[in-house]
């Protein structure tokens, strides 16, 4: 089913969806001098922004920065009964892929993270095909199609005037029944043009995945690529796939709450042992860990898939403009040279 | 006269190449333009051939002084805006770096940065200390005023203001890491015995972090604005530190980072010191 909606009628359309879902979409927010686009529950359809990548990923809906896991003595808390399903409206390919990357980590057969699972089960995402490259994104260098979100019941496109909906789920068709049909050829033509633009600006990465662990770990370039890293947690907190967390407990008059909260491998405390020793004492070691986790350890454990979807937020948000693409190119060049030395020797 | 940034960049390249070739420094810390982002980023140059990548322009917003702390025991050249030289001066006064281990390539007649509002409040337009100077020093003083928002706010208004600002904090600590004053070997945030700040991200712990950090800033913060530039959530934490800067200036006639021989504010005590306190 292919349907089209004039953007001016978006509000009415969302009202229909709101009857059944808690609708979340990228909206504009003004923070001091900075304008931001973030996923928020929609109050007014006019604040929805579909032509700009949200500054923060939708990760927070499955893995909130702070999450109460229940009372230490009484056990887990359940999601409140009767809570509406969340519909995230307009999730780009990078962020959809990021959820796919998180799934096997949290939904492993041997250990299922029920908190993540329950939230994911209560969420529906409408994909949004990108019509232009965003600030620093490079999903197409990681074999992700920016135009075609995977595993979503609806994929949308915004051509500036109309929103196109490719509806793949029978149960959701009722919401679209009143809308006029879209011309599949017209859409294909538009997609072809967008695709061309992506191809023109693509960066080729030829990464051997997973990165060979020892060889990459011991490579000489890590100090150089991490020398300007401040050691803050911005890249990890804005990353759609970084999932590390810590636990803490809080006592209050009624009991003891168990919480989990995001943690970051960029922080020294992340690995500091009780006895005082820290196996990752320097920023070089910590930066290396982040890259190695994403491109060596994760693909080793999960079918060769890197834990990066190329959204580029770590690059855009970095206070010193460190560029992951430059680091990946450095690794790529080093490994190729090493390979050359080996085969010629 | 218009500032010629390509001329400044050329001088930086020449000086850096010479310093590296002659073995006067082991490395130079400066700025280069990112290959894909097109944005300026701090870079460490060790090879004289790479000195040609060094650039300077009003986009070079990061403070470089803090990188010096990583390289004690060897020699480092540093491209320094006047604010960087003030940070270096604070480090020298606090004996965190050694003068003979650094070569300061100071930039005269700083015009301020494009994105940094703190530059409008800064009257120090020439390096405080330098080994190599680029351009002519500015002679005429710059009229500046610390735009202290807190000055005319009531306590209630201040509280409401900071509640709004700190509610956005995700505690990524970009402000701390970008701040040259935040150079403690172990930050109070990273201490878990005792634990000063809770791990949760919420108003209570966010307030604790920002207020405790501010308490360490008085008489050391030079109001450079690096914290705000680094903050991804656009939190105006300088409202706190700028207030402290103004109070130190007005009450104790103290401005940090102008004289490496001068003791820091908290290292001095006079019997007639005013007892006006924090956020009075």
| pLDDT tens, position by position, B221-241 | 999 999 999 999 999 999 999
Pair (B9, B130) in one structural domain: yes
More confident residue, A336 or B2: A336
Question: Per the CB < 8 Å rule, is B234 touching A203?
Answer: no
Structural domain includes residue B182: yes
Q: Which residues contact B153 (CB under 8 A, 6 or more apart)?
A: B161
Pair (B60, B97) in one structural domain: yes
Pair (B202, B261) in one structural domain: yes
Structural domain includes residue B139: no
From the candidates A227, A233, A264, which should be mutated to test the interface with B, based on the most B CB atoms within 10 A?
A227
Q: Kindly indicate the confidence band of residue A251, based on its pLDDT and cuts at 50, 70 and 90.
A: confident
From the candidates B117, B147, B168, B173, which should be mutated to test the interface with A, based on the most A CB atoms within 10 A?
B173
> Which chain B residues are within 8 Å of A329, Cβ to Cβ?
35
pLDDT digits (tens, 9 = 90+) for A29-46: 888 778 899 999 998 888
A311 CA: distance to closest CA in chain B (Å): 14
Question: Per the CB < 8 Å rule, is B36 touching A323?
Answer: yes
Structural domains in chain B (count): 2
Q: Above 0.90 for ipTM, yes or no?
A: yes
Rounded mean pLDDT, A104-125:
93
> Which chain A residues are within 8 Å of B172, Cβ to Cβ?
232-234, 237, 264
> Which chain A residues are within 8 Å of B62, Cβ to Cβ?
319-320
Pair (B127, B11) in one structural domain: yes
Pair (B16, B118) in one structural domain: yes
pLDDT digits (tens, 9 = 90+) for B97-110: 999 999 999 999 99
Q: Kindly indicate the confidence band of residue B2, based on its pLDDT and cuts at 50, 70 and 90.
A: confident
The parent domain of residue B216 ranges over: 149-267
| Amino acid A72: pLDDT | 81
* Domain end position, chosen among B110, B134, B158: B134
Residue of chain B minimizing CA distance to A248 = B199
Structural domain includes residue B144: no
Structural domain includes residue B275: no
Q: Kindly indicate the confidence band of residue A232, based on its pLDDT and cuts at 50, 70 and 90.
A: very high
Q: How far is CA B271 from CA A104, A224, B251, B255, B268, in A?
A: 66, 50, 14, 20, 10
CATH, residue B58? 3.40.50
Of A136, A224, A250, the CB nearest to B37: A136
């Amino acid at each position: 089913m292919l349907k089209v909606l004039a953007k001016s009628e978006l509000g009415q359309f969302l009202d229909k969806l709101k009857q059944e879902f808690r609708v979340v979409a990228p909206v504009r927010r003004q923070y001091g001098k900075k304008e931001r686009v973030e996923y928020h529950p929609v109050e007014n359809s006019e604040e929805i922004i579909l032509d700009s990548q949200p500054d923060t990923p939708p990760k927070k809906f499955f893995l909130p920065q702070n999450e109460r896991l229940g009372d230490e003595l009484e056990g887990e808390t359940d999601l409140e009964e009767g809570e509406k399903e969340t519909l995230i409206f307009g999730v780009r390919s990078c962020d959809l892929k990021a959820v796919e990357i998180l799934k096997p980590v949290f939904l492993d057969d041997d250990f299922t993270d029920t908190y993540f699972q329950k939230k994911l089960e209560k969420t529906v995402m409408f994909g949004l095909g990108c019509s232009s490259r965003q600030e620093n994104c490079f999903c197409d260098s990681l074999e992700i199609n920016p135009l075609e979100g995977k595993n979503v019941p609806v994929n949308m496109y915004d051509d500036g005037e109309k929103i196109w909906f490719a509806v793949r789920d029978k149960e959701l068709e009722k919401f679209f029944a009143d809308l006029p049909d879209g011309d599949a050829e017209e859409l294909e033509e538009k997609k072809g043009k967008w695709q061309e633009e992506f191809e023109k600006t693509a960066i080729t990465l030829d990464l051997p995945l997973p990165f060979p662990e020892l060889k990459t770990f011991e490579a000489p370039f890590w100090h150089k690529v991490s020398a300007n890293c401040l050691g803050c947690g911005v890249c990890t907190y804005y990353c759609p796939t970084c999932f590390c967390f810590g636990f803490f407990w809080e006592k209050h008059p009624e009991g003891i709450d168990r919480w989990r909260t995001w943690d970051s491998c960029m922080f020294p405390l992340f690995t500091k042992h009780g006895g005082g020793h820290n196996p990752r004492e320097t920023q070089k070691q910590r930066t290396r860990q982040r890259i190695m986790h994403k491109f060596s350890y994760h693909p080793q454990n999960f079918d060769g898939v890197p834990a990066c979807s190329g959204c580029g937020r770590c690059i855009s948000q970095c206070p010193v403009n460190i560029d992951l693409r430059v680091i990946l190119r450095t690794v790529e060049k080093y490994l190729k040279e090493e390979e050359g030395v080996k085969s010629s020797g | 006269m218009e500032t010629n940034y390509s001329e400044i960049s050329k001088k930086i390249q020449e000086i850096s190449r010479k310093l590296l070739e002659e073995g006067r420094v082991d490395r130079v810390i400066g700025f280069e333009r990112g290959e894909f982002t097109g944005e300026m980023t701090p870079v460490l140059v060790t090879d004289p051939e790479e000195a040609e990548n060094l650039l300077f322009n009003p986009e070079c917003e990061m403070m470089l002084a803090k990188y010096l702390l990583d390289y004690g025991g060897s020699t480092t050249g540093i491209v320094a805006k006047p604010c960087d030289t003030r940070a270096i001066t604070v480090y020298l006064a606090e004996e965190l770096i050694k003068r003979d281990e650094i070569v300061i390539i100071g930039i005269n007649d700083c015009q301020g940065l494009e994105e940094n509002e703190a530059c409008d409040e800064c009257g120090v337009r020439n390096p405080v200390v330098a080994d190599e100077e680029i351009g002519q020093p500015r002679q005429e003083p710059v009229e500046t005023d610390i735009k202290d928002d807190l000055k005319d706010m009531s306590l209630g208004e201040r509280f409401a203001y900071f509640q709004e600002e700190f509610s956005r904090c995700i505690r990524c600590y970009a402000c701390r890491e970008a701040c040259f004053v935040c150079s403690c070997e172990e930050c109070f945030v990273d201490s878990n015995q005792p634990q000063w700040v809770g791990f949760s991200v919420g108003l209570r712990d966010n307030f604790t972090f920002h207020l405790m950090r501010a308490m360490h800033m008085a008489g050391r913060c030079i109001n450079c604005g690096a914290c705000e530039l680094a903050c991804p959530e656009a939190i105006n934490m300088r409202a706190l530190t700028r207030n402290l800067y103004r109070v130190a200036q007005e009450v104790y006639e103290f401005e940090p980072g102008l004289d490496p021989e001068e003791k820091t504010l908290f290292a001095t005590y006079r019997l007639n010191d005013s007892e006006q306190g924090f956020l009075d």
